[in-house]
């Protein structure tokens, strides 16, 4: 992944290179509903990785300015218990959007859930405060599979290698995430 600047507006973007499939449709649907970074473009060139150009989520800095953090990282340093209910509600809304569209994310672990943090280091809960990233295994319910070459088997996955990723897999991952964090 690389940070880049656009030529017209000089705004920062993130460019990710993906070999194989990418859940572009799922990314766009979730971005339209505020649950993913805006997806600006994908560029496929035969024989080369696909370039995915998306909104850059400015990381939380140690200087006290607002930014984004993974749920995994935030939970290492902050007491997340006061936010349990609101995070659970927002994750349920995310699952509702996926269900309505018969889509799956496939990798809803805490390191793929981004949270907006304000200047005071508090969780900011305005519109679009929770976003998911990493759509490599995303797609239509039952049409995508866990790639055995890209999967860490020390992680408890809800489906075996090469089994279809179904909506229940996302629900199981959210349940595991909530249990691990809270």
Separation of alpha carbons 144 and 104, rounded Å:
8
Tell me which residue range forms the domain holding 61. Answer: 2-181
Count of beta carbons in the 10 Å neighbourhood of residue 160: 11
CATH number, domain with residue 121: 1.10.510.10
Bridge partner residues of 14 (DSSP) = 3, 54
Residue (of 164, 175, 168, 135) closest to 30 by Cα position: 135
Per-position pLDDT tens, the chain of length 182: 888 887 777 789 999 999 988 999 999 999 999 999 999 999 998 999 999 999 999 998 756 678 999 999 999 988 999 999 999 999 999 999 999 999 999 999 999 999 999 988 889 988 999 999 999 999 999 999 987 677 888 888 999 888 999 999 999 999 999 999 98
136 and 145 Cβ atoms separated by less than 8 Å:
no
Length of the chain: 182
Question: CA Rg, the chain, in Å?
Answer: 16
Number of domains in the chain: 1
The closest of 47, 46, 37 to 15, measured between CA atoms, is 37
Q: State pTM to two decimals.
A: 0.93
Asked if 155 and 128 count as a contact pair (C-beta separation under 8 A), the reply is no
């Amino acid at each position: 992944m690389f940070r880049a600047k656009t030529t017209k507006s000089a705004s920062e973007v993130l460019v990710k290179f993906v070999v194989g499939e990418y859940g572009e449709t799922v990314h766009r649907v979730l971005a339209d509903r505020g649950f993913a970074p805006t997806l600006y473009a994908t560029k496929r060139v035969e024989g080369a990785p696909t370039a995915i150009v998306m909104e850059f989520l400015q990381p939380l800095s140690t200087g006290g300015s607002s930014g984004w953090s993974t749920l995994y990282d935030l939970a290492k340093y902050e007491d997340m218990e006061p936010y349990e209910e609101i995070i659970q509600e927002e994750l349920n809304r995310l699952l509702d959007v996926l269900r309505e569209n018969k889509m799956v994310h496939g990798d809803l672990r805490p390191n793929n859930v981004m949270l907006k943090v304000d200047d005071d280091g508090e969780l900011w809960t305005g519109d679009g405060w929770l976003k998911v990233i990493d759509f490599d295994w995303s797609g239509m319910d039952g049409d995508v599979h866990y790639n055995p070459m890209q999967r860490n088997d020390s992680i408890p996955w809800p489906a075996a290698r090469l089994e279809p990723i179904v909506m229940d897999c996302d629900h199981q991952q959210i349940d595991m995430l909530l249990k691990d964090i809270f």
